[in-house]
Structure 1
Amino acid sequence: MKTFGKIAALSMVVIAIVVLNSFIWTSATTNKVVELPINGKSFAVLELFTSEGCSSCPPAEELLAKIDRESNGKPVYVLAYHVDYFDNLGWKDVFGSAENTRRQQRYSSWLNSQVYTPQLVVNGTSEFIGSDEPKISNAIDGQLLIKHTTALSLSSEADAKAVTVTYDAKAVQAGEELVLALVQKNGHTDVKRGENEGRSLSHIQIVRKTAVISLKETHAGSAILNFPKDAEKQDWEIIGLIQNARTGQITAVTKIEVNHS
């Protein structure tokens, strides 16, 4: 009886160990977190609306240039749209255009915001005073955590008068369109009159021409953007955006160098 008792007790211990191990294995399996691969790309598109006739704009353009320098290697894209509604206040912005003003007006509708300078829009979804570095930096960091699955590829051919851009977009959603911007990388103006009279202003990433293309029927094709008259003296690139025409949200971006002939 003592031997049987020892065997029975030993059996109970073995069963308890088996049950405990089974519980631990089951719990571990049940609570296991499986990390799935994340597809898509993150980016931050910064669109600054500015004017040489606005005394508040130079600090915003300086911040834009700083962000451009310090974001080397990161997917941060900057564009400066010079608007024309300051042109009757003493100084006509040599880079200003009604086309750029219309783009800002679209953002006013999308974001329910005022039309003002310097205004900076990030990824088409939020807007800030263009010189507010802390808020803009936080917005960039937040956007770089978001993955987008829409993709865009560009190629180009240029002659003395224009650049032909060939595009191909993938995974486009309903209501999205392509925005192509012809960008002059650098510019300089000595301002003679107006709010910035006597100042020597340096500019970067100046948008000189845009084209907006519907992607409803086809996601691939080509478009022509004309150079301004002094094109041979400048360095150029094309920045392409896929943007929701109803909300303004940007879901893809890319850029290519343009070799002006």
Structure 2
Amino acid sequence: MRKIKIFALVPFFIGAVIISAAFINNKRTAEKSNGKKLKFDGKGFALVELFTSEGCSSCPPADDLVAKVQKEVGDKPIYILAYHVDYWDRLGWKDAFSSADYTKRQNEYAHWLNLSQIYTPQIVVNGKTEFVGSQEGALRNAIKTGLQRSSNVQLSLNATRNANNTASVQYKVEGQTDNAHSVISLALVQKQAVIKVERGENGGRTLAHAQVVRNLQTLPLSKNNGSATVALPSGFDAQGWEIIGFVQNTANGAVLGVSKTPFKVSADAGNQQDAKNIQ
């Protein structure tokens, strides 16, 4: 685990005692939860947000954990977002998926959760519970708690890939929201990625990532339905990507509702692809 002071955005090494305690705690937690599967009780949901970096040697176990959980999810209301923060980029390896936007989001959680520092790897579940991202027992308990709580907000999404390398996302929100303090965020997610890290703390390792956030747009929830245009990166493949959207209270960070959708292909985009195939 690595921590930095809020707003300073410069990583520093924490004490050996803290690292040893965290390591022992993670090991014990993993032993207790070994072999357990996710239990899908109740009518709630769990939005799991991981803050990670390819430049952080403590992060691969957290990346592996969320990938493991993702394989167990199936069609259950569990949604995983992996944000690659940028404050590790200056220490020998620039993470290709990193963004200052994700560091900003992590700082927002530090404010909402009254934390004095941000760190990697960190997981936040439903905007209310945070812990070291490699703690499997803590993650499974937080997911279980989220699933057992009923949700008063329902979100539906529809995403269509356009011919101009963009996507149109329509959303509809039903239920109890305070629109004065609510926003909707739309995350463009790459389901899988593999990167060979050449330098930094993970130099020489090949890292596998799951549920990588490649773009995040946040819009005021001035009305309960609307649309947004999302730019798509080069190499986009509709089969390997999805949109995850969530409604959040900006007063306290609580996530009120969440949903996801695959991509449909518009007629124009389909015709364009057919033309390429013919050539």
CA distance in 2, matches of 1:229, 1:100: 20
Classify the secondary structure of the residue corresponding to 1:170.
strand
Can you give the 5+ residue segments of structure 1 that lack an aligned partner in the other structure?
A: 1-39
What are the within-5 Å matches in structure 2 for residues 187-202 of structure 1?
187-202=193-208
Classify the secondary structure of the residue corresponding to 2:120.
coil
What are the within-5 Å matches in structure 2 for residues 99-178 of structure 1?
99-113=101-115, 114-159=117-162, 160-174=164-178, 175-178=181-184
1:172 deviates by 3.8
> Does the CA contact (< 8 Å) of 2:43 and 2:148 recur in 1?
no
1:73 deviates by 3.6
CA distance in 2, matches of 1:84, 1:144: 31
Pair 1:254-2:254 in alignment: no
Classify the secondary structure of the residue corresponding to 2:262.
strand
CA distance in 1, matches of 2:249, 2:238: 35
RMSD: 1.6
CA distance in 2, matches of 1:187, 1:106: 27
Further displaced range: 118-127 or 155-164: 155-164
Pair 1:83-2:89 in alignment: no
> Does the CA contact (< 8 Å) of 1:158 and 1:259 recur in 2?
yes
CA distance in 2, matches of 1:87, 1:197: 13
- Per-residue displacement from partner, 1:114-153 (whole Å, max 9, x unpaired)? 2110000000001010001111111111111100111111
1:182 deviates by 0.5
> Does the CA contact (< 8 Å) of 1:239 and 1:255 recur in 2?
yes
1:72 deviates by 2.3
TM-score by length of structure 2 reads 0.76
Question: Aligned in 2, Cα 1:98/1:234: closer, same or farther, shift over 3 Å?
Answer: farther
Classify the secondary structure of the residue corresponding to 1:115.
strand
- For 1:20, the equivalent position in structure 2 comes to none
Classify the secondary structure of the residue corresponding to 1:116.
strand
How many matched pairs?
A: 221
Task: Letter of the 1:69 partner, please give it.
Answer: K
What are the within-5 Å matches in structure 2 for residues 1-261 of structure 1?
41-113=43-115, 114-159=117-162, 160-174=164-178, 175-215=181-221, 217-232=222-237, 235-259=240-264, 261=269
CA distance in 2, matches of 1:99, 1:44: 22
Task: Letter of the 2:227 partner, please give it.
Answer: S
